[in-house]
Amino acid sequence: MSTKRITFFIISLYIVISAFAATKDLVNDISMVSYEQSWLDSKGTLALKNNTNEEIHYVVFQIVYLDMSGNPIDYEDFTKEISIAPGMTRKLDIPAYEHSRYYHYFKSENMPGGSPAFKIKFQLKDYNVKNDPIEKANNINSDNNQNNVKEQININEISKINIIILFVAVLVMSGICVFMYILVAVMAQKRNRSVVIWVFLSLIATPLLMILILLVIGKNEDYVGQHYNKN
């Protein structure tokens, strides 16, 4: 066998071994050591052991609830963020099963006078999932926070623009009003009429109305004669 073939065989064997080594064993990688839930507990305490050579960060599992004859009566899926070192055991809490009806795990304390007992079956679904639901939820919350900040910034920018537009509009309207009063004064003066009286009338009514009236009545022809007679 040539050197190239031997090298290719060794590389292929290494890849196959690495692939098998990286494959998760969802039966044996994480096992349930114990479970506790007395009739008064609002939470059940589950002890999980890490049987792998890597640290566990996320665990996705299913708890199947069984009656005392071993028949399934219910189940629930869980995703928990937990840190378990290789070969170590750690406890975590889950909601107690049928707490309102005083159910108890068959190995835990029973209610005086008796209460329903149950067994459980632990089934590992996955662990250390890169796109774990908890991580997704955190990413979604982070995205929502960023969107809220962006929306707040946009709202602030819109508010500033509206304030500027309102300020400019007030300036323009004020300028138009002042111009109208000045126009009334100029028209009254050119028509030999009292500027003070017509500006005062503009304040009572409107400058536009006074402008129209001045256009209609025209120039005061008697003003010159009255002026010279006084002199």
Q: Classify 106 as helix, strand or coil.
A: coil
CATH number, domain containing residue 88: 2.60.40
Asked if pLDDT for residue 224 goes beyond 60, the answer is no
Can you give the pLDDT at residue 7?
Answer: 62
Can you give the pLDDT at residue 8?
Answer: 60
The residue to which tokens 């209610």 are assigned? 111
Can you give the pLDDT at residue 132?
Answer: 47
Q: What is the pTM for the complete model shown?
A: 0.49
Asked if pLDDT for residue 140 goes beyond 60, the answer is no
Provide the percentage of residues in the chain whose pLDDT is more than 90. 50
Reported as a single tens digit per residue, the pLDDT across 42-56 is: 999 999 999 999 999
| Whether residue 95 is found in the same domain as residue 161 | no
Q: In what order do the strands lie in the sheet with 117-127?
A: 72-84, 56-66, 117-127, 104-105
Tally of CB atoms within 10 A around 50: 22
The tally of domains found in the chain comes to: 2
On whether the CB atoms of residues 51 and 28 are closer than 8 A, the answer is yes
Can you give the pLDDT at residue 137?
Answer: 54
| Whether residue 148 is found in the same domain as residue 218 | yes
| Whether residue 148 is found in the same domain as residue 123 | no
Q: Domain for residue 5, yes or no?
A: no
Last residue of one domain, picked from the residues 101, 129, 157: 129
User: Which structural domain range is residue 163 located in?
Assistant: 136-224
| Whether residue 111 is found in the same domain as residue 191 | no
Tally of CB atoms within 10 A around 202: 21
Reported as a single tens digit per residue, the pLDDT across 63-92 is: 999 999 999 999 999 999 999 999 999 999
Can you give the pLDDT at residue 91?
Answer: 95
Helix segments in 48-132, DSSP class H: none
| Whether residue 39 is found in the same domain as residue 122 | yes
Q: In what order do the strands lie in the sheet with 43-50?
A: 30-36, 43-50, 89-95
Can you give the pLDDT at residue 157?
Answer: 78
Q: Classify 42 as helix, strand or coil.
A: coil
What's the pLDDT band for 205 if we cut at 50, 70, 90?
confident
| Whether residue 109 is found in the same domain as residue 71 | yes
Asked if pLDDT for residue 167 goes beyond 70, the answer is yes
What's the pLDDT band for 123 if we cut at 50, 70, 90?
very high
| Whether residue 124 is found in the same domain as residue 145 | no
Asked if pLDDT for residue 41 goes beyond 70, the answer is yes
Can you give the pLDDT at residue 160?
Answer: 84
Q: Domain for residue 118, yes or no?
A: yes
Q: Domain for residue 19, yes or no?
A: no
**Average pLDDT, integer, range 103-121:** 94
Asked if pLDDT for residue 138 goes beyond 80, the answer is no
**Average pLDDT, integer, range 115-131:** 89
